[in-house]
Amino acid sequence: MANIVQPKGFVPVKYTNGAAWNGAATLYCIPSGDTSMCSPGDAVKTVVGGDGNGVPYVTKAAGTDVLRGVMIGVLPPGYNIPSLVGVNLDLTVQNIPATKTKDYYVLIVDCPDVLFEFADDGLAALTATSCNKNASFTVANPTSPAQNSASVLATGTVGTANTLNLKILGLVQKPNNAYGVNALWLVKINLHELTGGTGYVGV
């Protein structure tokens, strides 16, 4: 049976020690001047600065960037606004638009030990030789009515270079997922802002 073509971006599932992901995430801010659409499952990186309450800024990452983590949700009201009176909250919309009129507050899975399910781009049929190699990813926005990220693992980048930002840990072990195009892979962020000897400063 062919693999299902249904990219959702990065989906957190467990930790490197085998424990199930516990839902933990950290609050960050995407400033009103940011020009990227952002969806659940998108990878993000930090930018210098933060809001008036000290919540640090992030922006949508490119496919080869050093990463801070993955966005899993948007807080509907403005953070630290004391009253919601008169605020129209459309909870059916999960995406952050490219053109913004306000800051958005997002939940980011930023623990370096979290592993993610991640679909490949379907442009090549990866085999067992891809396990334990590295790769980067292709950034893509969802097509309506889908709202999750459409970013995918870039099959053409799979290799051993330590400059690639993802580590492929093997196929996701679930029914109807097998070697071939559009497979679902278990990956770890290989180039993470919160690991390494010197840390990473956003730009």
Rounded CA-CA distance 123/102 in Å is: 38
Are the beta carbons of 39 and 9 closer than 8 angstroms? Answer: yes
Q: Using alpha carbons, list the distances in angstroms from residue 195 to 49, 124, 188.
A: 20, 31, 12
Amino acid (one-letter) located at 192: H
Rounded CA-CA distance 108/122 in Å is: 27
Q: Rounded to two decimals, what is the model's pTM? A: 0.91
Q: What is the DSSP string of 82-126?
A: S--TT----TT---B-SS-SS-EEEEEE--TTEEEEEEB-SSS--
pLDDT in tens, the chain (203 residues): 688 888 999 999 999 999 999 999 999 999 999 999 999 999 999 999 999 889 999 999 999 999 999 999 998 766 566 554 455 556 677 889 999 988 999 999 999 999 999 999 999 999 999 999 999 999 999 988 889 999 999 999 999 999 999 999 999 999 989 999 999 999 999 999 999 755 555 55
Task: Kindly calculate the radius of gyration of the chain based on its CA atoms and give it in whole angstroms.
Answer: 17
Residues belonging to the chain = 203
